[in-house]
Amino acid sequence: MRTVLTALAASLTMAVAGLVPQTSVQAETLAPAATSPAMATVLADPRRDGDRARDIWRHPAETLGFFRVQPGMTVVDYLPSGGWYTRVLVPYLGPQGQYIGLNPGVANAPERTKQAFGNLGATFPAKAAQWTGVPAERILAFNTDSLPADLDGKVDRALIFREVHNMWRGGWLYPDLLAIRRLLKPDGLLGIVQHRARPDAPASYTDGSKGYLREKDVIAMVEAHGFELVGKSEINANPKDPANHPAGVWSLPPTFSQGDADRMRFAGVGESDRMTLLFRKRP
């Protein structure tokens, strides 16, 4: 009798579960995205001729689509560096949108760090204007320790491309995620692409020094700073990457940090396996 009741209870549980919305985040399976005419124009721009070879690994149209970035939005690009995504975002957001480059606060950092990341507002808009053909006055850039208060709650999307390991190592994760959270609108979204370690990777390999982080750790860190995970995608996955290179992710293209040693093997792997995560700012 107990066996019958147990089976009946299990059947009822499954039936009820089918009626209740599932709240767990599932990896999204995406068909090849139809690129909008606006995005197609941006990606075909001759200014991107040097960038385009990496589109097969970085999937800019699909990634920005997953992050729900649209023309006219205000978007933060964290650590824009050499401007690969700047050359996509600035023209794509258009004249009604606003691009904001954001670097960590380095007022109390060593001089070398200040030289590498400091004073972004004075240097970056002119560079971005050269890259994109958009006037420098339409491009904003700040360090997180010099953000104007009137930007609080004005940002639609914040994007972090392959930089969470640097945030972790540099001690920027806590202050900069809080700064990003402050900038975002109440319904604002944070998109992250990050080199992905294997789930069983040891702590010594996932301390940021190799470039790889475990997906579960990134989710936990970001959620602890006032965000909730709302979506995952395999857009930027690469199953060929074993994610265990002794010299870290930089062994792979495009860096090839090991020079000619095993270059053909690394080229056959391609760029790193990457997680693609979408978070919403929590109340």
Mean pLDDT of 229-258: 98
pTM, entire model: 0.89
Instruction: For residue range 178-218, list pLDDT tens digits in order.
Output: 999 999 999 999 999 999 999 999 999 999 999 999 999 99
The pLDDT-based confidence of 12 (bands split at 50, 70, 90) is very low
Three-state SS string over the chain comes to CHHHHHHHHHHHHHHHHHHCCCCCCCEECCCCCCCCHHHHHHHCCHHHCCCHHHHHHHCHHHHHHHCCCCCCCEEEEECCCCCCCHHHHHHHHCCCCEEEEEECCCCCCCHHHHHHHCCHHHHHHHHHHHHHCCCHHHEEEEEHHHCCHHHCCCEEEEEEECCHHHHHHHCCHHHHHHHHHHHEEEEEEEEEEEEECCCCCCCCCCCCCCCCECHHHHHHHHHCCCEEEEEEECCCCCCCCCCCCCCCHHHCCCCCCCCCCCHHHHHHHCCCCEEEEEEEECC
| Stretch among 35-39, 80-84, 138-142, 276-280 having the lowest mean pLDDT | 35-39
How high is the pLDDT of residue 228?
A: 99
How high is the pLDDT of residue 17?
A: 41
Q: Is the pLDDT of residue 2 over 90?
A: no
Instruction: For residue range 42-60, list pLDDT tens digits in order.
Output: 999 999 999 999 999 999 9
Instruction: For residue range 119-149, list pLDDT tens digits in order.
Output: 999 999 999 999 999 999 999 999 999 999 9
The pLDDT-based confidence of 8 (bands split at 50, 70, 90) is very low
How high is the pLDDT of residue 11?
A: 46
The pLDDT-based confidence of 5 (bands split at 50, 70, 90) is very low
How high is the pLDDT of residue 35?
A: 78
Of the candidate CATH numbers 3.40.50.150, 3.40.50.1970, 1.25.40.320, 3.40.50.2300, the domain formed by 31-281 belongs to 3.40.50.150
How high is the pLDDT of residue 180?
A: 99
Instruction: For residue range 111-120, list pLDDT tens digits in order.
Output: 999 999 999 9
